[in-house]
Chain A
C-alpha cells in the first residue's frame, strides 16, 4: 500500500471512530421526580422529601375528590407539573401530591377567535402540536416547550416574545378547583382581582384545571444576529422596541474571563409576510455538538473563552435564517442536562428596568468574579431577555419594562457549597435590588426573607389573601414555607 494511502486510511479511521464514540456518548438525563417509595425531588434534587401520597389525575372530578379527602384527613396538597421549578414548589413533607401530567388534553382550538383551550397538565409541546397544524402559535411562553401550562401560569413565565406582555395577560378564562373543593371559572376582565393571585400563585390558590389562552399566527421570522459592546445593548433594545417588525428577541452577555459582561450578541426576530401552516415542529438538533460546547465552557478559563468564540461563530451562521414562531419558542434543552454526583446546575433570574441596565452591569462587573474556574460556584451562561411590565399578577417581578438576566450556575451540593452559593446570590440580589430590580421565584430559595419582601412589596397582600381563601393552608409547598409564610413577619 502506498504510504500516503495508508496515512489517509488511518486518519479516516480515527475520524470515523471519533464520530462513532461521540454518537455513543449518552445524552445525560437527570433523575428526579415524584416517588411514593423513595424521596421526592424536583429538577435539582436539592431538597429531597418524603411525601405521603401521589395522585395521578386523569379526570377533573378526581381533583374535587382529592381536595375533599385532604380536608377530611387534614393533609396538605401540592401540585406538580413537569417539576422544573427548583425549590420544593411541587411537594411537601407527608403531604398529597397531585401529579397533573396525565391531565393533558388540548380541548379545542378556535381559529376565528385565535384561542386554545387546554387541560393544565398538558405541556407546551402538546399545545404547539395542535396549534401548528392550524397556522397558529402561542403568544407568550418560555424559550423551551418542556413545561406544563399549569406550572407555567403558576410562575407567570416569560420568554422571547417582546410584544404580548406577560403570560398571565394571555389568559382569557380558567377553571380552578379551590380550597373548598369546588370548581370556579374565572374570566379576564371580570375576575382580574382573583386571577392575580392564581396566576403567578405557585399552586397556593387552587388547582388550575383548564385554561383558554389567546394565541396568534405562526408567523415566519428572519433572525438577525448582531455583536455589540455591553454599553450599546440598552440603546439597541430601545430601538427594536420602537420597530414593530421585530417580534421576538434575546441576547447573551459573555461570562468568559476575557470579555466578562462586556461583549453581547443579540438575536432579533423580524416578521415576514408569510404564516406557516405546514412545517412540522422542529425537534432537538445538534445536541451533541451543543453539549460539547457547553462542556468546554464548564471547564472555565481559556476553554470558556473558546466556548464564547464558538457561540459567536454559531450566531453568524444563523444570521438571516428563517424560522417560524412555534420553532422559535422551542429551543433545545437536552444538551443542558448535567448529572455529575456532588454538583448541581441551577438557574437564577434577575430583572432590572431597562434604564438601569448599564449601571447594573457595571456594578456586577465589580462584584462578580470574572474567572471562576477555581471557585466552587461557577456562572456558565447569562441570557438576556425583555420582560414587559405586568399588571396581571400580585407576585409581580416585572414592575416596569425589565431586562431579565437568566443565569445558569453550577455549585457543589455539600452544605458548605450551598452556603457559598447563597453568599454570592445574595450579593447579586442586593445589587439587583439597589437598581430597582427583582428576582424570579421558581428557583432554589437562596435569597433571604428580607430580600423577598423588598423585591415583592405585594407579598403581604398575597399572604392575607391566602389566609382568607385557604385558612387551613391545604394547598401547601416549600415555596409557601420559604417565602409567603414570612411575608408578614
Chain B
C-alpha cells in the first residue's frame, strides 16, 4: 500500500472497530453512568492529544503502534482502574493521530472515501454475530501494530 493510503486504513478501521470496542467497554463498566464518565475521560484525553500534536511531534508510526497495543489489551484487562487509564491513553493517541491526519495533503480526499467505506463495512458486519467483541478489537490492534512496523521500516528505507 502506498504511504498516503495508510491513514485511510487506520481511520476506517477505527470507526469500524469502535462499536465493538464500545460493546466491550459497556460490558466492563457495568453501569451507564460509569460508561459515560469513562467516555468523558476518552474525550479529554483526545483533546490533550490533539493539542499536544501541534507542539510536539513524534514519528507517526509510534502512536499507531501504541493504539494497536491498547486495543490488544482488551483481551486481557478486567480492572476498571486499568480500563480507565487505557481510555485516557486511547483518547490521547486518537486525538494525536487526528491532528496529524488533518495536516496531511490527502486528508480532504480521504474523508469522503472514509465515510463510504465505513458505511459499506458496517452493512457487511451487520450480518455477523458477535460473541466476544474484544477478539475483533484485538485483531484490529494487531493489524495496527504490523502497520506501524511496516510504516517505520519504509520510512527508514526511504532515508
Contact = CB atoms under 8 A, between A and B. Distances in A.
Interface of A: 3, 6-7, 10-11, 13-14, 17-18, 20-22, 24-26, 288, 291-292, 295-296, 298-299, 340
Given A14-B45, A17-B40, 14 more contacts: A6-B51, A7-B52, A11-B48, A13-B44, A14-B48, A17-B37, A17-B41, A17-B44, A18-B41, A18-B84, A25-B80, A26-B34, A292-B81, A296-B82
Chain B contact surface mostly: helix
Closest 6 A/B residue pairs (Cβ)? A295-B79, A292-B81, A10-B48, A25-B80, A21-B84, A14-B44
B41 to A, nearest CB: 5
Interface string B101-112: 000000000000
Given A7-B55, A10-B48, A26-B30, A21 B79 contact: no
Interface string B68-102: 00000000111111101100100000000000000
Nearest to B49: A10
A295 B79 CA distance: 6
B48 A25 contact: no
Contacts of B139: none
Nearest to A20: B37
Contacts of A299: 76-77, 79, 82
Contacts of A295: 78-79, 81-82
Nearest to A25: B80
A10 B44 contact: yes
A458 to B, nearest CB: 43
B125 to A, nearest CB: 27
Interface of B: 30-31, 33-34, 37-38, 40-41, 44-45, 47-48, 51-52, 55, 76-82, 84-85, 88
Contact of A25 (B34, B55, B76): B34
Contacts of B88: 14, 18
A295 to B, nearest CB: 3
Contacts of A298: 78-79
B22 to A, nearest CB: 16
Contact of A14 (B33, B34, B41): B41
Contacts of A296: 79, 82
A22 B81 contact: yes
Contacts of A17: 37, 40-41, 44
B44 A3 contact: no
B78 A21 contact: no
Chain A contact surface mostly: helix
Nearest to A373: B76
Contacts of A10: 44, 47-48, 51
A425 B81 CA distance: 31
Contact of A21 (B38, B47, B48): B38
Contacts of B30: 26
B34 A21 contact: yes
Contacts of A18: 41, 84-85, 88
A337 to B, nearest CB: 13
B51 A7 contact: yes
Nearest to B73: A299
A12 to B, nearest CB: 10
A24 B41 contact: no
A339 to B, nearest CB: 10
A26 B34 CA distance: 9
Nearest to A293: B81
A250 B55 CA distance: 51
Contacts of B41: 14, 17-18, 21
Given A14-B45, A17-B41, A299-B76, A3 B81 contact: no
Contacts of B51: 6-7, 10
28 contacts: A3-B55, A10-B44, A10-B48, A10-B51, A13-B48, A14-B44, A14-B45, A14-B48, A17-B37, A18-B41, A18-B84, A18-B88, A20-B37, A22-B81, A22-B84, A24-B33, A24-B37, A25-B80, A25-B81, A25-B84, A26-B30, A291-B81, A292-B81, A298-B79, A299-B76, A299-B77, A299-B82, A340-B78
B104 to A, nearest CB: 23
Contacts of A291: 79, 81
Nearest to B48: A10
Nearest to B52: A7
A10 B81 CA distance: 20
A340 B28 CA distance: 10
Contacts of A340: 78
A18 B37 CA distance: 9
Nearest to A294: B79
A14 B46 CA distance: 10
Contacts of B76: 299
Nearest to B84: A21
Contacts of B81: 22, 25, 288, 291-292, 295
A49 B47 CA distance: 53
B91 to A, nearest CB: 8
